[in-house]
Structure 1
Amino acid sequence: MKKLLLFIVICVTLASCGPQIYQAPSFSQVKSNHKVVAVLPFDVAIESRKLPKGVTPEMIQDEQRNYGYGIQSDVYGYFLKEMSKNKYTVNFQDVSKTNAILNNAGFSYSDLSLKSKDELCKLLGVDAVVSGKATMSKPMSDGAAIAVGLLVGAWGPTNTVNTTITIHEGNAGDLMWKYDYVASGSIGSTRQSLTNALMRNSSKKFPYKKS
């Protein structure tokens, strides 16, 4: 009996760590009208209980912005490789064009989270937008780890990164698809390895993928 209970607990624990996926019931019909999709800079948050000496909140904000644009570029690069293999039913807008339009409209990185997705879709001239969040957490008993992360983009083995990638359609800006993924250890140690892990796993359920 005890072994059975232990087995159930282990199964529940493993399941809770797995990816969480949401898809709107109407998305199967809506996506047939989508031709061009834009990838937005990711919303990145670096959580820490204590900043080491010499590291300012402004430095953290700069790193969050750099990570956000970096993940955007990585995700677009992944889509570009898959498009070359004719795996998707849509095309993805070049991120250089996306960011130029946003910049010309006066939208800074921090402004994007305040704008509705339908507003951004109309501005960018696309049918939907892919966006996402990445929350990086690190126990700060050794706060210097953050300083190392800021300097070389590397994070320790106890680092955890909660990532989400979403799709919002352009007409009403409604959430159509959402994939939550948790990366830890070496997977979350660099931006590129984090993005690769997120895309490798989410691409299996990515709704624009040809059947």
Structure 2
Amino acid sequence: MRKLYLLAFLCLSLAFQGCGPQIYQAASFNEVKQNHKVLAILPFDVTIESRRLPKGVTAEMMLDQQRDYGYGMQGDVYGYFLRQMSKDKYTVNFQDVNKTNALLNEAGLTYEDLRTTSKEKICQILGVDAIVSGNAVMSKPMSDGAAVAVGLLVGAWGPTNSVNTSITVHEAQAGDLMWKYDYEASGSVFSSRQSLSNALMKNSSKKFPYKKS
């Protein structure tokens, strides 16, 4: 156990290196977004790919970790937007994530249901003009059992070959995809959730379509 916590401490030394981003924007988005006032942020869809699980780690534990990461990244992104809003950098407001999650729960939508529910329906449930969502796929995030155990304990993964992330915007009327930013990050030692969220937002915020000119 001591070794695991030592490895967890080492995750603080993480340094991300990102590949060039890919950006999509719908041709009609500049016109559509003029009517957008409030956006909601959904829990991120997180997938942790593992070749095998170490002794004592179950598939259910991995699913719980993915869910925790998803809600954690939702909170991270919301916090980032709030900090930027305090500087008056956006033309829209963001729904409090606690309200978002409460409304989803009242509608009977679980974390897993979000994958198969249309963005149009989700916008209607939340009463917003558009929604921000995203995903993260951690490819071969651990090379041995100890790394998995550390991840489950403290939310850090490594060594990570790559983490493919994206953040998207869907409008409410038809649920169409309006904007998408893909980003690939790689960490040679450990990858914490906060570091991943910060890397994604630091890069994508430069191109975020609701940013004031």
Q: Say yes or no: TM over 0.5.
A: yes
Separation in 2 of the partners of 1:94 and 1:187?
Answer: 34
1:115-194 superposed matches below 5 A: 115-138=117-140, 141-185=143-187, 189-194=191-196
Listed as ranges, the gaps of 5+ residues in structure 2 are: 1-17
Q: Show the counterpart of 1:12.
A: none
User: Higher mean Cα deviation, 126-135 or 153-162?
Assistant: 153-162
Q: Is the Cα contact below 8 Å between 1:157 and 1:184 reproduced in 2?
A: no
Q: Show the counterpart of 1:210.
A: 212
Separation in 1 of the partners of 2:50 and 2:192?
Answer: 17
SS, match of residue 60 in structure 1: helix
Of residues 14, 17, 22 in structure 2, which corresponds to 1:20? 22
Distance 1:142 1:117, change over 3 A: same
Q: TM-score normalised to the size of structure 2?
A: 0.88
Instruction: Provide, for residues 122-181 of structure 1, a one-character-per-residue CA deviation record: whole Å limited to 9, x for no partner.
Output: 110000000000011226542331121111112224342110100000000000000000
- Amino acid across the alignment from 2:129: D
Instruction: Provide, for residues 22-74 of structure 1, a one-character-per-residue CA deviation record: whole Å limited to 9, x for no partner.
Output: 00000000000000000000000000011111110000000000000000000
Separation in 2 of the partners of 1:135 and 1:158?
Answer: 11
User: Higher mean Cα deviation, 191-200 or 135-144?
Assistant: 135-144
Larger radius of gyration: 1
Q: Show the counterpart of 2:107.
A: 105
Q: Show the counterpart of 2:35.
A: 33
Q: Show the counterpart of 1:201.
A: 203
Q: Percent identity?
A: 76
Q: Is the Cα contact below 8 Å between 2:38 and 2:93 reproduced in 1?
A: yes
In the TM superposition, structure 1's runs of 4+ consecutive aligned residues that sit over 4 Å from their partners are: none
Separation in 2 of the partners of 1:28 and 1:105?
Answer: 31
1:45-124 superposed matches below 5 A: 45-124=47-126
SS, match of residue 25 in structure 1: coil
Instruction: Provide, for residues 64-97 of structure 1, a one-character-per-residue CA deviation record: whole Å limited to 9, x for no partner.
Output: 0000000000000000011111100000000000
Separation in 2 of the partners of 1:56 and 1:104?
Answer: 30
Q: RMSD in angstroms over aligned alpha carbons? A: 1.6
Instruction: Provide, for residues 2-35 of structure 1, a one-character-per-residue CA deviation record: whole Å limited to 9, x for no partner.
Output: xxxxxxxxxxxxxx93101000000000000000
Q: TM-score normalised to the size of structure 1?
A: 0.89
Aligned length, in residue pairs:
196
- Amino acid across the alignment from 2:77: V
* Greater helix share, structure number: 1
Separation in 1 of the partners of 2:79 and 2:24?
Answer: 24
* Greater strand share, structure number: 2
Distance 1:102 1:209, change over 3 A: same
Separation in 2 of the partners of 1:124 and 1:187?
Answer: 39
Q: Is the Cα contact below 8 Å between 1:169 and 1:175 reproduced in 2?
A: yes
Listed as ranges, the gaps of 5+ residues in structure 1 are: 1-15
Distance 1:119 1:99, change over 3 A: same
